[in-house]
Amino acid sequence: MITKSQWRKFIDQPWVEWGLMALGVLLIIGGLIISPLPGPGGVFLIAPGVALILKTSMWAKRRYVRFKRWQPKAGGWADWALRRRSAQRRAEIRKQETARIEEGGAN
């Protein structure tokens, strides 16, 4: 069985990162080709493609951060759609702080 550290070492190899990025680009292209068809089919290819590109590209990450600063609400939706751990962690902290404030105000 493969461990987390072995998996991370494998994913961090340059050829694997380039392969994942290429797969992300292919998924986005496939989603754009399928999108004119009736139904939401293109979304199911574009979203994982964007997630793969964000995982492997620093350029895309910088653009994503700039987008989130420009459109905070849309950035929140993007975090939710990408299931980002950091966004989930921040939301949980925010929820705990809100509960603590409400609890303190009730006393």
Q: What is the pLDDT along the chain (107 residues), one digit of tens a residue?
A: 888 888 888 877 888 888 988 999 999 999 999 888 888 888 888 888 888 888 888 888 888 888 878 887 776 666 666 666 777 788 888 888 888 888 876 55
Full-model pTM: 0.60
Please state whether 83 falls in left (phi above 0), alpha (psi between -120 and 50) or beta.
Answer: left
Residue 2 lies in a domain: no
The sign one gets for the Cα dihedral 49, 54, 57, 59 is positive
Question: Which structural domain range is residue 97 located in?
Answer: 59-107
- Name the domain count of the chain: 2
Last residue of a domain, one of 34, 56, 78: 56
CA atoms of 97 and 89, how far apart (whole Å): 12
Yes or no: say if 61 and 68 are a contact pair by the CB < 8 Å rule.
Answer: no
